[in-house]
Amino acid sequence: MKFVPSGREWTLAQVEPALGISVADGGRLARKSRNLGLAALARRAHWLGVQESHMIQVAKPETQSPSTPAAAAAEAAALPLSTRFELGAEITPVQRAFLDRHGFITFSQVLSTAEVEQVDAEINRVQRRWLDEGRKKVYGIPVFVGKDPEGQPFIQRFAFTSQFSTYIRQLVRDERFYPVRGLIGDSTRVGDEEKDGVVFNRNLNVPGSAYPRLGWHTDGLRSLFYLRMPGPMLNVGLHFDRVRAEDGGLRVIPGSHKQGFLKMAFGKPYFVSHRPDPREVAVETEPGDLTVHDGRLWHRVEGSPRTGWQSLRRTMYVPYLTDAYAPKREDSRTPLYHELGRLLRRAKGSM
């Protein structure tokens, strides 16, 4: 049994005494060893332990998980699409099979109420700063400024938030997300200054809103605008409001991530179509929920039928990346995709 952090080979026999604990100990490793200054190594070991369970022994999930991939797939297929899973120290075979089959998965209340409130406070602080500065873009990405129900300026899409909030920067690195990161790759980084960074969205249905809803799209095609072929990509979202189907919110077409390239490119007119699809399902969320969706999955955001603050829907998307490091800076160019979006918003007064 061995694993390979950063190109070096370690055997369990070497690592366990170094950490003073067993790798099989799973998520407790990092916590226990923090005092010893070994947190980074422990996290890495835990990470690899979670990742490479075929190589190192890890604690089996407490429940009787299905013994074969086929059994896990069958169990996942029998679950309702509205299933909200619990996020543990590792992704279970059924959770993995559910994501693979449907292209999305929801984990319930991964953030605590206090964390939801703290992120919101940080975003309000960033908003004050950006409004004071008269900011139009962050690292080349347009800031969507609309109006709140009182007619005051209200930022509705914040890019690169973790560059402006130490709290958010640390939160998205918390060890509870390691299993989710493991779905994306063996060694992921937080793209604080890549793509659009950690994005915070605030959909609001009021006159003057810059972002009440979002039309049909896949996130993968967007990466074509960054001049990259869409590789396997998973989008990790945190949700800050209780959103039932009747409140609008995220709509996905389950299984559409398995379509071919043509359907992904031309299946629907990107961003302009808002029409409900007979195959769509609503992803209902509670504050603190985490969703993962496949970059090839067709999805949209349905506007709230309510108005005013009651229509508020807040989400935060975290880029956990594995591809080549491509940082942006304040003077980075605006991607074509965002220029088009800006023109559309200007033409229509809203998205």
Ligand X SMILES: O=C(O)CCC(=O)C(=O)O
Is residue 19 within 8 A of residue 42, CB to CB? The reply is yes
Distance of closest approach, residue 294 Cβ to ligand X, in angstroms: 12
Q: Which of 25, 219, 284, 302 binds Fe ion (CB under 5 A)?
A: 219
Q: What is the rounded CA–CA span in Å between residue 112 and residue 50?
A: 23
Distance of closest approach, residue 196 Cβ to ligand X, in angstroms: 8
- Per DSSP, the residues of 97-156 read HHHHHHSEEEES--S-HHHHHHHHHHHHHHHHHHHHHT--EETTEEPEEEE-TTS-EEEE
Q: Which does 280 bind (CB under 5 to 8 A by kind): Fe ion, ligand X, none?
A: none
Report in angstroms the alpha-carbon separations of 340 from 17, 135, 200, 290, 334: 56, 19, 20, 29, 10
Give the strand pairing for 84-85 and 104-107: parallel
In the complex with ligand X, the residue whose CB is nearer, 93 or 212, is: 212
The two three-digit tokens of residue 210, written as one number? 């810059």
By three-state DSSP, how is residue 76 classified? helix
In the complex with ligand X, the residue whose CB is nearer, 33 or 218, is: 218
In the complex with ligand X, the residue whose CB is nearer, 48 or 168, is: 168
In the complex with Fe ion, the residue whose CB is nearer, 194 or 219, is: 219
Distance of closest approach, residue 237 Cβ to ligand X, in angstroms: 5
Q: Which stretch binds Fe ion (CB under 5 A): 66-74, 162-170, 212-220, 226-234?
A: 212-220
- Beta-ladder partners of 300: 251
Q: Which stretch binds Fe ion (CB under 5 A): 59-67, 81-89, 217-225, 339-347?
A: 217-225
Q: Which stretch binds Fe ion (CB under 5 A): 71-79, 145-153, 211-219, 261-269?
A: 211-219
The 8-class DSSP code of residue 334 comes to: P
In the complex with ligand X, the residue whose CB is nearer, 151 or 276, is: 276
Residues that bind ligand X (CB under 6 A): 201, 214, 219, 237, 250, 299, 301, 315
Interface ranges with Fe ion (CB under 5 A): 219
